Structure formats: C-alpha cells, structure tokens
C-alpha cells in the first residue's frame, strides 16, 4: 500500500538530518539523479520512508591501494564501489576508469542503475564503481596490475550473487577478465568456474555472451525502433548526429545505420565530423583504430566541424553517447533533432529539459535507452550460471523483446500520467521497487 502523503519542503530524512541538507551536500550529478526520481515519486505519491531509502546509496566502499609501475615506482590509487539498492536482486553496474570519477559521480551512476534494472524488469539492484584515472596514460601491464589490485582491495564487497561489475567508460572485456581471474584466485580452487559470473561483459572466450559488446548500442536502436513504430514514424533515411564513438557510440552507429538511418555527424573528445550524405561507421572505426590513434579527428570522407557546431547540425535523431551534462540549456535551444536517444548516462542537464519539452523534442531517457548493456549482462550471468551458451540470434531476439516491452510500457505510463518519457520511466521503476519494499516491510 502506498502512502499518499504529499512532499513537504521541510521533510526530514530517516537519519534525522533534513533531507534537503543531505541533498545539498551531494554533487550536481547526484542531485540530478535524485531530482529525476523525486518528480516520479511526487506523481506516484510514494512514502517519505521510501523516498529517503532511495535518495542515498546503501553502501559506499572506498579503497586506496598501491601498484608498482613499470619503472619501479609505487603509485597509490583510489577506487570506488557504490551499492545503491538491492531490493530487486544483487547489486549490478559498471566500472568506470576516467579522471572525472569521484564519489559523487559514482553515486549518481549507481542510483541510475537501480532504476534501469527495475525498468528493464531484471532481478538486479543498482551499483557503480571505478577509479579516477586516465587509462590511456598507463601501459597494458600497469593497467592489468591496477585492475587486479583494485579487485583484491574490493575483496568480498563484490561477488557472483552479491555485486556484479561490468564494463563502462574506460574499461572493456579485457578489464572484466582480469577482474574475474583475480576474484577466482582469491577463492577456493573448486569454485574457479562457478564464480565466473562475478563480472559480466567478459570476452566470449572467457565466458562472455554473444552480443554483449554491441548490446548497449543495439538496445538503443531497438528502443528508438519501438518508439517510432508506436508513433507511426518511418525511420528510413532519418539523419542521426551522434556524440561519442566508444563502445556505445560505435555500436549505436552501426546498428542505427543497419536499421536504415543515416549517420550525418559524429563527435568525440578529439573533434567533430559532418557529411550530409552519410558517414560509414565501419570506415570510422577502422580510422579510429589505426591512423586516428583512438579518436575520429582527421577521418576521411567527412568535413571537420567545430565542436559547438555539432549541436546545431541538421538532423532528425540526436544520440549523446559520450559523457554526462552535454545537453546544456544553450545547446538545447539549437538542437534540430525531434528525438534524442540518451546512449550516455545523464547527458541532458536539468535546465535543458523544459527547453526541449517546449520545443517538442522527445527524449528517450538513459535509464531506458542504454539498458541494453545491463540486459545482455543479465543474459551472460544466466548463461554462466546454467553453463549454457546462447546464439547471437537468441540474444538479439531476447534483447529486442526486453527493450520493446520497456519502451511501450513507459509510453503508456507517460499517457496515463501525462508526463515525459523520463518521468514515466521512473514511475514504472518506482512502482516495481515500492511494491517489493512494501511487501518486505522495514527491518527490524
Ligand atoms: P567509452 O570509453 O567506450 O567511449 C567514450 C566515448 O566518449 C569516446 O568516443 C570518447 O572520445 C567520448 N568522449 C569522452 N569525453 C568526451 C568529450 N568531452 N566530448 C566528446 N566526446 C567525449 O565509453 P562507453 O562505454 O561507450 O560509455 C559511454 C556512455 O555510455 C557513458 O555515459 C556510459 O556510462 C554509458 N553506458 C555505457 C554502457 C556500456 O555497456 N559500455 C552501458 C550503459 C551506459
């Protein structure tokens, strides 16, 4: 049963500190995450207790650990694992290696994971972690030692049925295999294989799933397809501008082009490109992996444009798939797309949302649009648990079903509550979370 108390400005947290004071101490990214779910909590009228529980993470683990560098020096690193909520199942979420990683960013990302897994109907909670480093600044052997020592420092804070990391920005399948191997070495010999599912997003050879590498990009294409289909919009030849050409961006580009759309602009940390006749993702990926030395700047068959002009490019679909806080209020006023598909987490700033809404721009929110990654991570976890191997066709079909169902669900919730798709996504997730919170009750 939900408590229909309306929110009061001076509401107090469960710990007695005024909730607003607690929130003011949080970073703007975490505030963004909390304010997003608070809007949905208002629509649903959920209890103060449930608001307080979901406003702060359950556990925050910070580890400082030493690693020997190639030149013999010992460097200290700080790693994070924030476990936001496990009402629906084991904590689940990526590991991010980026200089911008700090406790507040990880809190926000962990919070989004709780709502993402709930929305996708997965039996997982939400977590996130990472290290504040630029992985490109370290040699492969240094990176391996950093990952292994981080995993060792986390110890039993992660586990195959407790908290299951996955790749995110700056990490990849190799990172996950190092984490898995280190975790396995820390346990008993007899469990070496049963603990493989302590991480997902592994290489296929080491127990990963077919389709995990492209899952987030593929998922956003399925979500856009389901939304367009329900709206009666034909996506054929629709022009896409895409920011970020990493895991999500590259596979987003490939799957969108395969679905019949045209990639007209791409931006990453090195520059921005435009070609109204279309950019070939395969060509761009080959360039990035060879001559581009990890970036898209200087790629052939497209004109270099100013980074700020990227946001004004003529297009129908905009896919931010790089980092957070990219769609500012200023940029929102210039965006020409009629739909934004949030591949990245938190790319739209709170101040930009009303501007986009006034201009009739639909936002397919991150908690839905990029849920393909965690969904196929769940498939990988299931396969590891059962000792099974699914085909790519099977994975894709199941992913399409999850993304389509979640998209149609939030479109119908948005109609019921006359709200944005973002608010509808949080309402849907909150309904699932509060149902279980109510049934389980408060301990003790
Ligand atoms: P990645 O490290 O593979 O790629 C990041 C991309 O962003 C690169 O192309 C980089 O050039 C670009 N970038 C970084 N800083 C930039 C800047 N200042 N301006 C423009 N471009 C910039 O990361 P990823 O795994 O593709 O993740 C991208 C986003 O998607 C993140 O927000 C991540 O949390 C989210 N996400 C990833 C997954 C996944 O499965 N990898 C799943 C869900 C959500």
Tens digit of each residue's pLDDT (9 = 90 or more) over 145-180: 999 999 999 999 999 999 999 999 999 999 999 999
Centre of ligand 1 to C-alpha 109, Å, is 13
Q: Which of 198, 227, 256 is the last residue of a domain?
A: 198
Question: For the chain, what is the largest distance between any 2 Cα atoms, rounded to a whole number of angstroms?
Answer: 64
Domain that holds residue 153: 56-198
Is ligand 1 within 6 A of the CB of residue 321?
Answer: yes
Q: Tally the domains of the chain.
A: 2
Q: Tell me the C-alpha to C-alpha distance, in Å, between residue 207 and each of 61, 151, 161.
A: 27, 18, 16
| 289, 357: one domain | yes
Residue 6 predicted with pLDDT over 90: no
- DSSP SS3 for 193: coil
Is ligand 1 within 6 A of the CB of residue 343?
Answer: yes
Is ligand 1 within 6 A of the CB of residue 326?
Answer: no
> What's the rounded Cα separation, in Å, for the pair 416 and 92?
30
If you take atom 41 of ligand 1, which residue's CA is the nearest one?
A: 168
Residue 425 lies in a domain: no
CATH code of the domain in which 268 resides: 3.40.50.720
Strand pairing category for 239-243 and 126-131: unpaired
Is ligand 1 within 6 A of the CB of residue 169?
Answer: yes
Residue to mutate (ligand 1; options 113, 136, 222, 244; most atoms within 8 A of CB) = 244
Residue to mutate (ligand 1; options 200, 241, 246, 346; most atoms within 8 A of CB) = 246
| 101, 194: one domain | yes
Is 310:343 a contact under the CB 8 Å cutoff? no
Q: Which of 369, 401, 418 is the last residue of a domain?
A: 369
CB-count burial class (<10 Å; 0-12, 13-18, 19+) for 218: buried
- Span 48-81, pLDDT tens digits: 999 999 999 999 999 999 999 999 999 999 999 9
Span 348-352, average pLDDT? 94
User: Which pTM does this prediction carry?
Assistant: 0.93
Residue 264 lies in a domain: yes
- In this prediction, residue 21 carries a pLDDT of 44
| 225, 338: one domain | yes
Strand pairing category for 74-85 and 59-68: antiparallel
Is ligand 1 within 6 A of the CB of residue 167?
Answer: yes
Q: Which of 143, 163, 198 is the last residue of a domain?
A: 198
- Atom of ligand 1 minimally distant from the CA of 366: 44
| Average pLDDT along the chain | 93
CATH code of the domain in which 141 resides: 3.40.50.10860
- In this prediction, residue 3 carries a pLDDT of 37
If you take atom 22 of ligand 1, which residue's CA is the nearest one?
A: 269
**Enzyme catalytic residues:** 128
Residue 410 lies in a domain: no
| 364, 221: one domain | yes
């Amino acid at each position: 049963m939900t408590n229909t108390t309306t929110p009061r400005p001076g509401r107090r947290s469960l710990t007695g500190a005024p909730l607003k004071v607690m929130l003011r101490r949080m970073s703007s990214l975490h505030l963004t995450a909390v304010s997003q779910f608070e809007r949905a909590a208002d629509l649903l009228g959920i209890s103060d207790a449930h608001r307080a529980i979901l406003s702060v993470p359950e556990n925050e683990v910070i580890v400082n650990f030493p690693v020997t560098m190639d030149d013999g020096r010992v460097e200290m690193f700080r790693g994070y694992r924030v476990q936001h909520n496990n009402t629906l199942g084991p904590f689940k979420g990526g590991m991010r290696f980026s200089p911008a990683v700090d406790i507040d960013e990880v809190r926000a990302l962990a919070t989004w994971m709780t709502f993402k897994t709930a929305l996708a109907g997965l039996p997982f909670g939400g977590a996130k972690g990472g290290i504040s480093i630029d992985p490109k600044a370290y040699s492969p052997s240094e990176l391996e030692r950093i990952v292994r020592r981080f995993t060792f420092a986390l110890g039993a804070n992660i586990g195959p049925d407790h908290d299951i990391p996955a790749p995110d920005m700056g990490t990849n399948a190799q990172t996950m295999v190092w984490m898995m191997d280190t975790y396995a070495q820390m346990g008993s010999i007899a469990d070496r294989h049963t603990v493989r599912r302590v991480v997902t997003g592994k290489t296929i050879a080491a127990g990963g799933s077919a389709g995990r590498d492209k899952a987030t990009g593929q998922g956003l294409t399925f979500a856009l397809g389901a939304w367009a289909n329900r709206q009666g919009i034909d996506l054929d030849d629709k022009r896409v501008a895409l920011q970020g050409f990493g895991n999500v961006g590259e596979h987003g580009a490939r799957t969108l082009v395969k679905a019949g759309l045209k990639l007209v602009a791409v931006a990453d940390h090195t520059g921005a490109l435009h070609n109204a006749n279309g950019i070939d993702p395969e060509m761009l990926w080959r360039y990035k992996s060879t001559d581009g030395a990890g970036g898209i700047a200087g790629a052939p068959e497209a004109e270099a444009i100013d980074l700020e002009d990227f946001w004004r490019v003529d297009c129908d679909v905009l896919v931010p798939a790089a980092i957070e806080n990219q769609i500012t209020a200023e940029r929102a006023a210039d965006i020409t797309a009629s739909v934004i598909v949030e591949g990245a987490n938190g790319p739209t700033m709170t101040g930009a949302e009303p501007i986009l809404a006034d201009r009739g721009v639909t936002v397919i929110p991150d908690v839905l649009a990029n849920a393909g990654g965690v969904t196929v991570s769940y498939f990988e976890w299931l396969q590891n648990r059962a000792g099974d191997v699914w085909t790519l066709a099977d994975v894709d079909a199941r992913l399409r079903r999850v993304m389509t169902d979640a998209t149609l669900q939030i479109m119908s919730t948005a109609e019921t509550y006359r709200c944005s798709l973002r608010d509808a996504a949080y309402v849907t997730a909150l309904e699932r979370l509060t149902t279980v919170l109510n049934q389980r009750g408060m301990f003790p």
